[in-house]
Amino acid sequence: MKRIGVLTSGGDASGMNPALRAVVRTAIVNGLEVIGIERGYEGLLNGWLRPMELSSVGGIINRGGTILRTARSERFKTEEGLQQASRILHDNHIDGLIVIGGDGSFRGAHRLQEVSGVPVIGIPATIDNDIGGTEYTLGYDTALQVAMDAIDKIRDTADSFERIFVIEVMGRSRGFIAAAVGLAGGAEAVLIPEVPFDLVQVCEKLKKGIARGKRSAIIVTAEGAASAHDVATFVEMYLREETRATVLGYTQRGGSPTATDRIMGARFGALAVELLLRGQSRMMTAWQRGELVSVPLSATWEQPRELDTSLLKLNEVLAS
């Protein structure tokens, strides 16, 4: 193996840059050439390639997003798109590819290897931490920190005005962020898609808290469970208390990576290069039970990640 390619794909996540830095520097130190592919698979199809030097990844360890840019590509999913991407890899003598992204990107990487024969390795990066086969994905810790800081700030206003706030966090189908940040922010109620809920019960719980002298309340909802506006409207009608809705939205995606995202980015990035050098392919760097490991890329869709509902139960007790 002489030359490898690296790209970032799908939703951006903090920690992509630290991982990219680790990939580029580990590869160069080990005598490999590195080609950065801009804008994910769309860039691969278009041949948007740039040689990476040690200095190309200088000053990015503390930056959110991805300096390689990211994109979604419908064309890549087609047979013609995969053939074109394969041609670009071969024409540019790229004999190993590292894909930093989410499970969609890994399905794409898997198919690309089938078509091109070029070994691929995945590095999991998505703020939702919902990829099978790994207990950690880059960007999750930064997203939690950002969402918790927002809850803390909103709590100041909620306390001052003695109001109820409903805060919507990301999580279209999974409640990992909501469950964790609800606990970290001491939310009075947490709504996630995986667990059925009853807004009447939520209101009755808030009512008891108010009767006991609670000055404010915060409800955290994952976007896939219920919209903050719908919940706020219901709560205001039911309790006849002023209730405000805030959608954190894209603020959760960006921001300087936390120490955890930098350290995990460094470890995943270095391991990805080692895996290619060891002749491995269709693998993903992963975190399991406190250890850095590698698992087949297919684990990302074959082993759906379980949400630990004990976080919700603990919060029920602590935020009563």
List contacts with ligand ADP (CB under 6 A).
Answer: 9-11, 41, 72-73, 76-77, 101-105, 107-108, 111, 126
Chain Cα centroid distance, residue 207: 35
51 has which bridge partners?
35
Backbone angles phi, psi at 101, to 5 degrees: 180, -160
Total count of residues recorded for the chain: 320
Q: How far apart are CA 288 and CA 249, in angstroms?
A: 29
The residue number whose beta carbon is nearest to ligand ADP equals 104
> Which lies closer to ligand ADP via its Cβ, residue 8 or residue 243?
8
Compute the least distance from the CB of residue 10 to ligand ADP, in Å: 2
Distance (Å) of CA 296 to CA 121, 187, 270, 281, 282? 9, 37, 17, 8, 6
Chain Cα centroid distance, residue 259: 16
Compute the least distance from the CB of residue 131 to ligand ADP, in Å: 8
> Which lies closer to ligand ADP via its Cβ, residue 107 or residue 244?
107
Nearest-CA neighbor of 47 among 56, 57, 39, 59?
39
Compute the least distance from the CB of residue 11 to ligand ADP, in Å: 4
User: Helices 140-161 and 259-277 meet at what angle, rounded to 10?
Assistant: 160
> Which lies closer to ligand ADP via its Cβ, residue 216 or residue 281?
281
Compute the least distance from the CB of residue 226 to ligand ADP, in Å: 23
> Which lies closer to ligand ADP via its Cβ, residue 88 or residue 217?
88
Compute the least distance from the CB of residue 116 to ligand ADP, in Å: 13
> Which lies closer to ligand ADP via its Cβ, residue 3 or residue 72?
72
41 and 68 in contact (C-beta within 8 Å)?
no
Q: Which residues are catalytic?
A: 128
DSSP code, position 138: B
Q: Which residues contact 310 (CB under 8 A, 6 or more apart)?
A: none
11-31: buried (b, 16+ CB within 10 Å) or exposed (e) per residue? bbbbbbbbbbbbbbbbbbeee
Compute the least distance from the CB of residue 255 to ligand ADP, in Å: 18
> Which lies closer to ligand ADP via its Cβ, residue 108 or residue 269?
108
Q: How far apart are CA 187 and CA 181, in angstroms?
A: 8
